[in-house]
Structure 1
Amino acid sequence: MSVEDVLLTADADGVRTLTLNRPKAYNALTVELKERLLDALREASATPEVRAVVLTGAGKAFCAGQDLKEHAELLTAGDPAPLGTVAKHYNPIIRAIVALPKPVIAAINGTAAGAGAGFAYACDLRLAASSAGFRMAFAGVGLGPDSGASWTLQRLVGYGRAEELMLLGRPVDAAEALRFGLVSEVVADEELPGRAHELAAQLAAGPTCAFAKVKEVLNKASSSTLDEALAAEDEAQSFLGATEDHREAVTAFVAKRKPEFHSR
């Protein structure tokens, strides 16, 4: 890995850690970083040895959202690219996180604002450092939400709270985020990397085939009728019941031993 890389990748214990690496710019999202992240998510999805993913940031911030300096420079130059970044970058990144058939943990080491917060909301689990915070900064720059935040945030905290946070754009610190249900756990800053890896490694050792179906069924159920949700559950159980992981879990239960899962 090079210290100049805008995205760092590290593998250990079946966990791939993706680190946004523009610390001097609070990991603000340039075109290069967005494209690198999208490629990395797709690669993690397609790599069998990767069984869980951690997304985090370098330095004092998780991600400050869109790099407004690059955005302004391109707009001033008459480049149409900034106006297409939602369709070209943010939407595919959110789809990649949500559809990734492995658990994705956001280790929020500092401020997560705008699209950076959207990325965190799209992850399956969110752990926050005590110094972390969230801010829906879109309205403050004359824009509406993107990066899936209109879909994910209200599912985490409810419609009314989501509207409040988006209209007012006020910061939410780690303690308040825990009360709202934005994060599942808050730890000391220095403990966050180790705790995130510990949790991701625990999931990586689990039945990742089942985890993929859990994600899939929940996503379908969030916008389906009861009958459609029941049908999706039936389909998932039929698939998972035929996996080696399920047979191993049952065998281990009868034998009173810990199961060993291989995502098959």
Structure 2
Amino acid sequence: MYETIMLKKDGRLAYLVLNRPDSMNAMNAKMMRELADCFETMKNDHTVDVLIIHGVGRAFSAGGDIKEMVDPDNPMDIDSVMEDVSRLATALYTLPQVSIAAIHGASAGLAFSMALACDRVVAEESSKLAMNFIGIGLIPDGGGHFFMKERVGVPKAKQMIWAGQVLKAHDALSKGLIEDVTAEGRALEHAEKYAHEVLASPVAAMRKSKEILHNLKLGELEQVLAGEAAGQSAMRRTADHLEGIQAFVGKRKPSFTGK
């Protein structure tokens, strides 16, 4: 059914697997669309109570596929992509299931936005977590502004977004960005342990509390996503973004001019 992701079910527990291991699960346009489609489908699946999101290979996900961004033969349609990114974030935030991100390796950019949207984030101690859009002259998308602000507040969210710092799991935990740190190779196991605790709980009550709390903020998320879509489209046309992309591909330090 999907080419870049897999959805597997085990009774009331489901696994959404990011499946582009040769690209460190970098999110190309197809993956973004398939994730949005999958989350929208899961909203109507009343047989599943818990969803674990994880990646195969060396990483959870390296974030947006920069190679696709710079492909001259098949240029990325940023407006179409942002529609799918907004669908992805809205559907994930409004999932009735309890969602758990199990992170190993890198979780960067859009992938980190997606992880922060989950109800619980588990990361291995060697993980590298980054809201690092600023490094290529872009702004967070996928609701990144909203989800960071929800977890750490506006002043800290601004500082983290502007710094684009790569955090180790214990740093992210101390800042309130994630809930759990595990030893290397144990994130999925820890996520499954928590999932089974949820399944042994009055999960209908948990889901109702989630619905009440998230419905309070849904309008705000939608406003953020609209701002991110317009802002990202504008940032894609800046000289700083072009310089950031070229520097990334050329493995050199960018020289930004603020334009």
Please indicate the TM-score interval, normalised by the length of the shorter structure.
Answer: 0.7 to 0.9
Provide the aligned length of Structure 1 versus Structure 2: 219
Deviation at 1:161, TM superposition (A): 1.8
Segments of structure 1 that go 5 or more residues without pairing to the other structure are 225-264
Deviation at 1:164, TM superposition (A): 1.3
- Select which of 201, 208, 211 maps to 1:213: 208
DSSP-derived class of the 2:54 partner: strand
- Select which of 15, 21, 24 maps to 1:23: 21
Give the letter for the 2:175 counterpart: F
- Select which of 39, 49, 54 maps to 1:51: 49
- Select which of 4, 9, 12 maps to 2:10: 12
Per-residue CA distance 1:11-49 (angstroms, 9 max, x = gap): 224110111011221111012211222222222222222
Query: How much identity, in percent, do the aligned residues show?
Result: 29
Contact preservation (8 Å) 2:18, 2:56: yes
Segments of structure 2 that go 5 or more residues without pairing to the other structure are 220-259
Per-residue CA distance 1:186-235 (angstroms, 9 max, x = gap): 111222211111211222343333223212221244589xxxxxxxxxxx
- The TM-score with structure 1 as length reference comes to 0.77
Does 1:84 pair with 2:75? no
Partner of 2:190: 195
Q: Distance in 1 between matches of 2:132 and 2:31?
A: 20
Deviation at 1:174, TM superposition (A): 0.4
Does 1:102 pair with 2:97? yes
- Bigger radius of gyration among the two: 1
- The TM-score with structure 2 as length reference comes to 0.78
1:177-256 equivalences under 5 Å are 177-222=172-217
- CA gap of 1:221–1:49, structure 2 versus 1, over 3 A, is closer
Contact preservation (8 Å) 1:140, 1:169: yes
Give the letter for the 1:84 counterpart: S
DSSP-derived class of the 1:112 partner: strand
Does 1:40 pair with 2:35? no
Contact preservation (8 Å) 2:18, 2:25: yes
Partner of 2:241: none
Q: Distance in 1 between matches of 2:87 and 2:194?
A: 26
Give the letter for the 2:165 counterpart: R
Deviation at 1:131, TM superposition (A): 1.5
Q: Distance in 2 between matches of 1:22 and 1:132?
A: 18
Give the letter for the 2:154 counterpart: Y
Q: Distance in 1 between matches of 2:133 and 2:187?
A: 27
Per-residue CA distance 1:62-120 (angstroms, 9 max, x = gap): 111111111211xx34746134311x211111111110011000111121111010001
Does 1:151 pair with 2:146? yes
Q: Distance in 1 between matches of 2:93 and 2:217?
A: 13
Q: Distance in 2 between matches of 1:30 and 1:78?
A: 12
User: How much is the aligned-residue C-alpha RMSD, in angstroms?
Assistant: 2.1
Q: Distance in 2 between matches of 1:37 and 1:223?
A: 19
Per-residue CA distance 1:111-169 (angstroms, 9 max, x = gap): 11110100011111101111112111211111112110111101111222211111111
Q: Distance in 2 between matches of 1:8 and 1:221?
A: 31
Q: Distance in 1 between matches of 2:28 and 2:88?
A: 14
Q: Distance in 1 between matches of 2:79 and 2:69?
A: 9
